[in-house]
Every structure is written in C-alpha cells, then in structure tokens.
Amino acid sequence: MKKEKVQERIIRVASDLFYRQGFNSTGINQIIAEAGIAIGSLYNHFSSKNDLLQAYLIKQEVEWFKGFEEHSSKISDPGEKILSLIDYRKKLQQSSKFAGCHFIKIVAEVGDSSPAVSDFARQHKEKQKEMIRTMVTEQTENKKDINTDMLTEQIFLLIEGAVVTSTINKNTDSFDQIQKMIKAQLS
C-alpha cells in the first residue's frame, strides 16, 4: 500500500474535521495533532487555514463528480442517469449519517466573510446544474413542448431540497418522493 503524502494527510484530516465539527470550530493545532505532523509541515504546504479550506473544497468537488461518474458509469439513458443522480445524493447522505452537503454547510458557516468560499460553492452548484441540464437536454431532445431550462431548475431544486430535508429529518424519504416527481416529469 502506498504511503500517504503529508499534504494529502493534512487535507484528509482537515476535511474530516471541517465537515464533522465545522471550519470555525477546528483549530490548526487540532489538525496538526490529528495528522501527526509538525507545525512546520503544515505551513510548508499551506500558508493559512483559509488555504487549507480551499484545498478541502477542491477535494470535495473532485470527489463529488468522480463519485457520481463511478456511480452512473454503466447507465447510458439520460433519464435513468438523472434518477441515478438522486440515488447518488441519497447514498452520500446515508454514508455521512445525514450530515448534509459539504458546500451548503461551509457557506452556512462562513457566509459573506469569505467571498472566495461562497463563489467556489456557487460555482460547484452551477457545475451540478449544468450536468443536469446536459442530461435533461439529451432526455428531451425529441420533445419540443418541454422547457429544458425550467425542467433543469426544477430537478436541481428538488434534489437540493431533498438533501436539506434529509439532513433535518435524518432519513431518505425526501429522495424517494422526488424520484417519483422527477420520473413523472421525464415521462
């Protein structure tokens, strides 16, 4: 097994802590202790806690899209791929014990105090929406009476709402409900 590089370990530990206990509640000393590194090692790789936060967000984005690609790789039908996106988000919620979306959580925590973080999260959500738009366009290309922009927005908002509802209720019922709604819209 390949040994984990120091920078990867720092990002992994910080990511876990930022997600579990929040960015503001996580101190540099805790990251250093849990990563088992010297303070100099941290600062050799990251000039500040905010730089580490940026690395966390990049890591989460890469993992999110890679995870969905792996989850849906055997599906070619665009409608089924949209439904697999719902299953993927449901799976993420279950595996995190309903801790919620990394991006929604960090924006809720740091908000306007960090425009770079808010912009990154907004761009991440836009990339998700564009991915949905591509699938919707492919699914509805022979249906002239469907407004693909509106359908894309509805699917995106239903999924995001299901994530929030699932986080609050600590169950996946919202995903089952939106799956039925979206299936009806795609028919």
pLDDT string in tens for the chain (187-residue length)? 556 799 999 999 999 999 999 999 999 999 999 999 999 999 999 999 999 999 999 999 999 999 999 999 999 999 999 999 999 999 999 999 999 999 999 999 998 788 999 999 999 999 999 999 999 999 998 888 889 999 999 999 999 999 999 999 999 999 999 999 999 988 7
Q: DSSP code of 2?
A: P
Q: What is the predicted pLDDT for the residue at 111?
A: 80
Q: What is the predicted pLDDT for the residue at 65?
A: 98
- HEC string of the chain equals CCCCCHHHHHHHHHHHHHHHHCCCCCCHHHHHHHHCCCHHHHHHHCCCHHHHHHHHHHHHHHHHHHHHHHHHCCCCCHHHHHHHHHHHHHHHHHHCCCCCCHHHHHHHHHHHHCHHHHHHHHHHHHHHHHHHHHHHHHHCCCCCCCCHHHHHHHHHHHHHHHHHHHHHHCCCHHHHHHHHHHHHHHC
Q: What is the predicted pLDDT for the residue at 77?
A: 94
Q: What is the predicted pLDDT for the residue at 2?
A: 58
